[in-house]
Structure 1
Amino acid sequence: MARRRCTGWEALLRAALWQAILVLPWTSYAGTSKAASPLPKAVAPAVVSRAEDARLFRIYYGQGFKVVKNSWDGNSYLLMQNTSRMAIKTKYCTGRIKSFVVPLANYSVDTSASPVSFFELLGVLQNLQGITSDHVSSPCVLQSYANGHVQLVNRTDAQKLSQFSAHFVSNTDKDKGCNFAAYVPAEEDTPLQRAEWIKYLGTFTNSEERANAIYDAIKTNYLCLSKAAADLGTRFKPIVAWIEYTQGMWSFVKESYKLQYVTDAGAEIVDATITDKRFNISDPEDMDNLHAILCTVDVVIDQTYASDPAEYKLSTFLENINVDRNSCFSFVANHSIWRYDKRIGDSKTLDWFDGAISQPQLVLADLVEVFFPTGNYTTVYFRNLAKV
């Protein structure tokens, strides 16, 4: 298992992305309990952000204010520059509009469901002061929590959460406080749509310039990788089964962003028309049907939940799927059985649900290597069960 380290900047694998972000005025964060760094100058930004790919938010600019429209829950957020008269006189907290003074002096995140890696990339982690769970993959956040700079707050304690300038939540059913802001990158349909939520957060911290530069670099890198994969796929297009075992049943995943990853990495997902069902391991006919489908597959990605990822081994998978180690299945013979639990935090929290959302180019680079192996690339998120 690969443990994440708090280094002050995130290691980005591709040179194009690394160079693009390196030129930005990065804020290194060592996780100390010192006072927060000076906030960005509170003026109307010369650079604005626009949602180019994301479906679920839009950003509008006025003189001394911004409006962020969240299409997922229908809420709008009025973001007022802290030097404006509006910031002194105006306060909204209704079922459809809330107001915030920006740049945020501090903020908290419902870390039980919301990624923090976007804040790391923006360089504003020093102003994070509250989390609702210490089960996070980010070592920087955990270090800050251990040093007392970040406090642990019960996610249901709206009164205590109200002390922060903003509290970011992904579960909009729990959006009860005047300072709660919905933040739902995981609800988008494609990897790039999810990654573009860095612009959404950038509006709250006057970090539009950095957010734009990071997303542009990620998108350029992602599309470059996808084009290279498409060229590889003209010679051979691997067939991929992305599957999951839950409560005695096997099923094929349907999340659109995962299917998009497979396509963008130059491979082909198993035909949905023959996989739109669940397969009971106690039913011999079901298992025969599942095995028949898997006979057509070159690569398997198994996303079965494991409380301790290190204990999920090849033998676990083979036993669950009732396949012998010496079987003639192509994915077994070719040692291509993968899981996305390689990169984890100290609390055994998968970075797949955090860093992989904000940096999809790393996931795509992994999958290109999975589908068209060279042996010259070390994957970040995917580990091969068949090669331990």
Structure 2
Amino acid sequence: MTLQQLSTLLCSVFFLTILGSCGKKNKSAHIEQNNTPSNIQYAKGFTVQKNKDFTVIEVHSAWPGAEVSFKYALVPKEKLAFISLPSDAYTAIVATPVERLAVTSTTHIPSLEALGELEAIVGFPGTDHISSTNARALVDNGSIVELGSNENINTEIILELKPEMVMGFGINDTNKAYKTVEQSGIPVIYNGDWVEQTPLGKAEWIKFFAPFFQKEAKADSIFSQIEKSYNEAKSLAKKAKQKPTVLTGGLYKDVWYITGGKSWMAQFLKDANADYIWSHTDENGSIGMSLESVLEKAQNADIWLNPSMHTSYAELKNANAHHEQFKAFREKKIYSNAIKKGATGGLIFYELASQRPDLVLKDIISILHPTLVPDYEPHFFMPLQ
């Protein structure tokens, strides 16, 4: 055997040895788990388990009454080739940090903006609903592409955009478009921030977004500031000497929908030191009532919040003359979160409120107890025109 032949043989053996060892490492790499317990304090819909090599996010409540949970493994891109995870153990495996994603709810926008990841968004269904000034600039320059509607997302456009994941929003698991996206190899990650029933619980979903971008520390810091601001406002409200009575909601097709006593809005009213007339009810959503029932119980309420989508007293009177019978109407004490809108008509409250409950609480305190926050400029709730 010549020296050249020997050299060639040794190189071949070396290559095969390395290739074999890589294959074995990929299949049997030691995976350390359960290193860091989840630091979720208020949110009930998800948990985050950070392990040595990867992170596991589990979503328990993707929609109301969900009987299935979703488990996602987030693996750093530099470790992806060396870690083998059982695909049947996870709903999806996502390489991080994510650089391109599509989102499907305006509530996803504020968390991504706070984390400095707006530019990672490549698509959104119903871009006119986006109110954030920075996000709108990305829509206007074509960086965020229109995807149609959430229930009928244009899957062809999504495939062309090649996002690394789609942040999904759904009322159930029957979205056919999502299934098509998943079949193409793009993970759909369900986000249930809207299902949370407490103000700080909703805000804590920023910790759900953070691991996809390896920005957990930043999310913790942001949430801590929001939590501190909220609790300070709550403490301030306790100094009020009176608790104004509050009526919520309005008529829609002859049914008056009020806020249930266990809903997140009812929690705001409690923390703002209000006497909410239906605080004793157990519903965590809306309660349908007749106009007569509401008049009987709340005709003399001091404050009226969110009279359906009406934004002026004239509009409210034209919708139903009985509205004039309410004390809050006569004394011009009606406020709505449907007045302040983005450049293309999106409601700012529905986009930002869940991520900034401290601002919502301060708004309500300024309405109920104006002397506690003099010269306050509201962010969401505006007086009817």
Instruction: State whether TM-score is above 0.5.
Output: yes
1:59–1:132 CA distance, 2 compared to 1 (3 A):
same
Establish whether residue 208 from structure 1 lines up as the match of residue 187 from structure 2: no
Q: Show CA shifts across 1:246-283 (max 9, x none).
A: 11222322261010011011102113669965215xxx
Q: Which residue number corresponds to residue 106 of structure 1?
A: 100
The structure 1 residue matched to 2:119, chosen from 126, 137, 145, is 126
The structure 1 residue matched to 2:301, chosen from 297, 308, 316, is 297
Tell me the amino acid that sits aligned with residue 195 of structure 1.
Answer: A
Q: Supply the distance in 2 between the matched residues of 1:48 and 1:107 (Cα, whole angstroms).
A: 27
- Larger RCO: 1 or 2 (CA < 8 Å, sep 6+): 1
1:318–1:47 CA distance, 2 compared to 1 (3 A):
farther
Q: Supply the distance in 2 between the matched residues of 1:212 and 1:223 (Cα, whole angstroms).
A: 16
Q: Supply the distance in 2 between the matched residues of 1:95 and 1:160 (Cα, whole angstroms).
A: 30
The structure 2 residue matched to 1:259, chosen from 266, 270, 273, is 266
Q: Which residue number corresponds to residue 377 of structure 1?
A: 376
The structure 2 residue matched to 1:331, chosen from 316, 320, 328, is 328
TM superposition score normalised by structure 2: 0.77
Tell me the amino acid that sits aligned with residue 343 of structure 1.
Answer: K
Considering fraction of residues, name the structure with more helix: 2
Q: Which residue number corresponds to residue 64 of structure 1?
A: 53
Trace 1:60-209 onto structure 2 (pairs within 5 A).
60-73=49-62, 74-84=69-79, 86-87=80-81, 90=84, 97-111=91-105, 114-135=107-128, 136-154=130-148, 155=150, 156-158=153-155, 160-162=157-159, 163-171=162-170, 173=173, 174=175, 175-176=178-179, 177=182, 178-209=186-217
Q: Supply the distance in 1 between the matched residues of 2:41 and 2:340 (Cα, whole angstroms).
A: 29
Trace 1:250-289 onto structure 2 (pairs within 5 A).
250-254=256-260, 256-271=263-278, 277-279=288-290, 286=292, 289=293
The structure 2 residue matched to 1:343, chosen from 340, 345, 357, is 340
Indicate if the aligned counterparts of 2:313 and 2:329 stay in contact, CA closer than 8 A.
Answer: no
**Cα offset for 1:355?**
0.7
**Cα offset for 1:105?**
1.8
The structure 2 residue matched to 1:224, chosen from 226, 232, 245, is 232
| Runs of 5+ unmatched residues, structure 2 | 1-34, 63-68
Indicate if the aligned counterparts of 1:105 and 1:127 stay in contact, CA closer than 8 A.
Answer: yes
Establish whether residue 52 from structure 1 lines up as the match of residue 41 from structure 2: yes
**Cα offset for 1:294?**
2.2
Q: Which residue number corresponds to residue 15 of structure 1?
A: none
**Cα offset for 1:302?**
2.3
Indicate if the aligned counterparts of 2:198 and 2:267 stay in contact, CA closer than 8 A.
Answer: yes
1:324–1:142 CA distance, 2 compared to 1 (3 A):
closer
**Cα offset for 1:157?**
3.5
Indicate if the aligned counterparts of 1:80 and 1:87 stay in contact, CA closer than 8 A.
Answer: no
Larger radius of gyration, structure 1 or 2?
2
Indicate if the aligned counterparts of 1:87 and 1:101 stay in contact, CA closer than 8 A.
Answer: no
Indicate if the aligned counterparts of 1:48 and 1:209 stay in contact, CA closer than 8 A.
Answer: no
Structure 2 residue matching 1:343: 3-state secondary structure: coil
State, as a whole percentage, how many aligned pairs show the same letter: 19
Residue-pair matches, total? 324
Indicate if the aligned counterparts of 1:115 and 1:353 stay in contact, CA closer than 8 A.
Answer: no
**Cα offset for 1:296?**
3.4
Trace 1:227-238 onto structure 2 (pairs within 5 A).
227-232=235-240, 235-238=241-244
Indicate if the aligned counterparts of 2:131 and 2:346 stay in contact, CA closer than 8 A.
Answer: yes
1:353–1:95 CA distance, 2 compared to 1 (3 A):
farther
Structure 1 residue matching 2:122: 3-state secondary structure: strand
| Runs of 5+ unmatched residues, structure 1 | 1-45, 281-285, 307-311
Structure 2 residue matching 1:335: 3-state secondary structure: coil
Q: Supply the distance in 1 between the matched residues of 2:100 and 2:347 (Cα, whole angstroms).
A: 26
**Cα offset for 1:65?**
0.5
Tell me the amino acid that sits aligned with residue 292 of structure 1.
Answer: E
Tell me the amino acid that sits aligned with residue 93 of structure 2.
Answer: S
Q: Which residue number corresponds to residue 353 of structure 1?
A: 350
Root-mean-square deviation (Å) = 2.7
Structure 2 residue matching 1:118: 3-state secondary structure: helix
1:276–1:206 CA distance, 2 compared to 1 (3 A):
closer
**Cα offset for 1:291?**
2.2
Indicate if the aligned counterparts of 2:100 and 2:120 stay in contact, CA closer than 8 A.
Answer: yes
Q: Show CA shifts across 1:185-225 (max 9, x none).
A: 11001111000000100011011111000100000110110
Structure 2 residue matching 1:120: 3-state secondary structure: helix
